[in-house]
Structure 1
Amino acid sequence: MALFDLPADQLRNYRSGTAEPPDFDAFWDKTLTETRAHPLAVTFEPVDTPLTGVRVWDVTFAGYGGHPVKGWFTAPADATGPLPVVVQYPGYNGGRGLPHSWGLWPLAGYAHLAVDVRGQGGGDTPDPVGSAPSTAGFMTRGVEHQDTYFYRRVHADAVRAVEAARSHPLADPTRTVAVGGSQGGGITLAVGALVPDLAAVAVDVPFLCHFERAVTITDANPYGEIGRYLTVHRGAEGTVLRTLGYVDGVFFAARGRAPALFSVGLMDDVCPPSTVYAAYNAYAGEKRIEVYPFNRHEGGGAHHEAVRLRWVGEVLGRG
């Protein structure tokens, strides 16, 4: 894939012209109030693993609707706390996977929660909420209205994940960081807006941003799911885009206040660079972006993990 989006000088200043829903804040206040009406009901069950340098807990907490959400909580084996805690959200169709996949942060001296996205294949958390007709995937589940849309539940779960992580005896709630790439980056933007006292957020090649542009310049999945839905549901563009506006990372970014590290691949046809810059340029807090000119959706890969690890340490005064 060669460069296909706007030239670099235009990307640096690119902004979305899409109007946000007038009741955006009221919608999310209502969603979180309804979610918090259910007890958090968090449990941490110790897990016996061969990871001698890391302790692992099997986590369950109540997300949207009181539905159980799973995760892995890990910490250095000899830690006594309090530790800064990193909450990490997965990419599309990812999840908590297996505990040994999450060694980076505890090896660096952090507590870490790897959390599922309900219904997606990489985890252990179902989505018990049904859906009207949709295309294959998750992007159009309940897209007829913001109240029924899939990512309303996902973002509410993500906020509760922060609350669950902060409740662990080893966690220092004042040093909580949210991180994620692709879908996880879009979720991180939402959490950064909905949890106002985070210490930092790291947003890598974020998905779920500037839908109005994304669905017209790429047919790669997952944005392609929306286009396929609209090929069948002719004339539903206004309804669909209105619903997507309630989960658009650009509007969450405008409410973010924690220091933020973004990343973008300029040849990324999954999350086009202009959609990433739309969120980055809207971000209201202190921010920095790492640009990978010849990379696609992998962004900076392991190289960027090292950049992110050092940046988080610097923000928390550990670097």
Structure 2
Amino acid sequence: MPQFDLPLEELQGYSSTLTEPADFDSYWDDTLAQARTFDLAPSYVPAENLLTVIDSFDVAFSGYGGDRIKAWLHLPANRTPGAKLPVVVQYVGYSGGRGLIQQDTAWAQAGYAHFIMDTRGQGYGGILGETPDPHLSAGDVAHPGLMTRGIASRESYYYRRVYVDAFRAIEAAQQHPGVDAGKVILAGISQGGGLAIAASGLAAGRLDGVIATLSDVPFLQDFPRAIDLAVRGPYPEIANFLQRHRHRHGQVLEVLNYYDGVHLASRCTAPALYSAAGRDDICPPSTVYASYNAYGSKSGRNPAKNIEFYPFNNHEGGQEHHRVEQLHYLANLLAG
């Protein structure tokens, strides 16, 4: 697909036209306070992975509403006894789950603790998931998929539950004795990249220990523009819903505004490495740059940030080339 979004020089200066809700922070304060009334109760059960260089744990913790969320924790088998490792908390792409136990251990192979959160109600498209979402009906009509599930209100919207899960996943990872709770890196691709931004923004001022955000071609950024531009992937679920429910356009955008990654990015305090792809018709590059350009702008910290741009790639972004960039980035960050 040829380039369809703004040229790079315009992307670098692009800002979203969104105005955040006046009660954005209080809404998330209340949501997270409610979530924390449930005992996190993390469990880490040693699990056989048939790999000689990685030790794995089958994890469960309490997310939104006290619902039990699954995860994997992988640790390098040759770690020093009693050592506490920096941890990469990884969120997965739309429709995917945590996968099979040995399916993704790359960060543990690099010497980090590697925590992979299952995404509630997903795991049906490509990568296996095991965490149900008991709230999926949410009392409203919806387009197939998850983007309009519970869209009747900000309280019932699907991503309220997922964002809370992503925040509590940080807390669960921090509680394992093999993890350095003061060195948490949040990472993900597509939906996972959007959840990394959301969790980083929610953690700012509420939870210590996040030292980096690695967001690769992130989803869930600048909803109004994404709905207008994206021709593949999850965003068209919203457009298709509005095609039939014409009168609900304003109400839907009002709900989505509480979940827009641009607002959450602006609150982030940790250094960040983003990526965007010039021909990405699933997460258009202008929506990624809207988030990147807002990143840290309301935090009072002015966190360091970088973005890698892959002009000829679609939603695959930088793939293995970008993983090399991330490995160098974290090594330099931790060495400094």
Aligned twin of 1:145: 153
Say if 2:223 is the partner of 1:211: yes
Q: For residue 78 of structure 1, report the CA deviation from its aligned partner.
A: 2.4
Correspondences of 1:54-133 after superposition (within 5 Å): 54-79=54-79, 80=81, 81-121=83-123, 122-129=128-135, 130-131=137-138, 132-133=140-141
Q: How big is each residue's C-alpha offset from its partner over 1:232-257, in whole Å with a ceiling of 9 and x where there is no partner? A: 11111110001111110100010011
User: Alignment partner for residue 220 of structure 1, among 218, 232, 236?
Assistant: 232
* Cα distance in structure 2, aligned partners of 1:218 and 1:292: 18
Displacement, 1:310?
Answer: 1.3
Does the 8 A contact of 1:199 with 1:258 survive in 2? yes
Please report the TM-score for the alignment, with normalisation by the length of structure 2. 0.93
Equivalent of 2:191 in 183, 190, 196: 183
Determine helix, strand or coil for the equivalent of 1:193.
helix
Structure 1 distance, partners of 2:195, 2:295, is 14
| 1:137-183 CA distance string (max 9 Å, x none) | 00000111110000000000001100000000100001110001100
Contact 1:53 1:77 in 2 (8 A): yes
Shift of 1:219: 2.8
Q: Does residue 156 in structure 1 map to residue 164 in structure 2?
A: yes
Tell me, in whole angstroms, the C-alpha distance in 2 between the residues paired with 1:61 and 1:292. 37
Contact 1:204 1:262 in 2 (8 A): yes
Which whole-Å CA distance do the structure 2 matches of 1:7 and 1:50 have between them?
47
3-state DSSP of counterpart to 2:70: strand
What one-letter code is carried by the residue in structure 1 that aligns with 2:97? G
* Conserved? CA contact 1:219–1:227, under 8 Å: no
Q: Which residue of 2 aligns with 1:246?
A: 258
The equivalent of 2:319 in structure 1 is 301
Give matches, 1:1-80, under 5 Å.
Answer: 1-79=1-79, 80=81
Question: d(CA) in 2 for partners of 1:34 and 1:195?
Answer: 15
Residues 198-240 of structure 1: CA distance to partner in whole angstroms, max 9, x if unpaired?
Answer: 1111010000000111111123220000001001111111100
Measured in 2, the distance between the counterparts of 1:307 and 1:218 equals 27
Distance in 1 (alpha carbons) for counterparts of 2:186 and 2:103: 18
Q: Give aligned-pair identity as a percent.
A: 48
* 5+ residue gaps, structure 2: 297-302
Q: CA RMSD in A?
A: 0.9
On the 8 A contact 1:199/1:316 being kept in 2, the answer is no
Structure 1 match to 2:299: none
Number of corresponding residues: 318
| Superposition deviation, residue 24 in structure 1 | 0.7
The one-letter code matched in structure 2 to 1:287 is K
Shift of 1:49: 2.1
Q: C-alpha separation between the residues in 1 aligned to 2:188 and 2:215?
A: 6
CA distance in 1, matches of 2:315, 2:233: 12
Which 4+ runs in 1 deviate beyond 2 A?
none
Structure 1 CA distance, aligned partners of 2:17 and 2:185? 30
| Aligned twin of 1:235 | 247
Q: Do structure 1's residue 170 and structure 2's residue 178 form an aligned pair?
A: yes
SS at match of 2:161: helix
Letter in structure 2 aligned against 1:179 = A
Q: 1-side partners of 2:231 and 2:323: how far apart?
A: 28
- AA aligned to 1:234 is R
By how many angstroms is 1:85 displaced?
A: 0.6
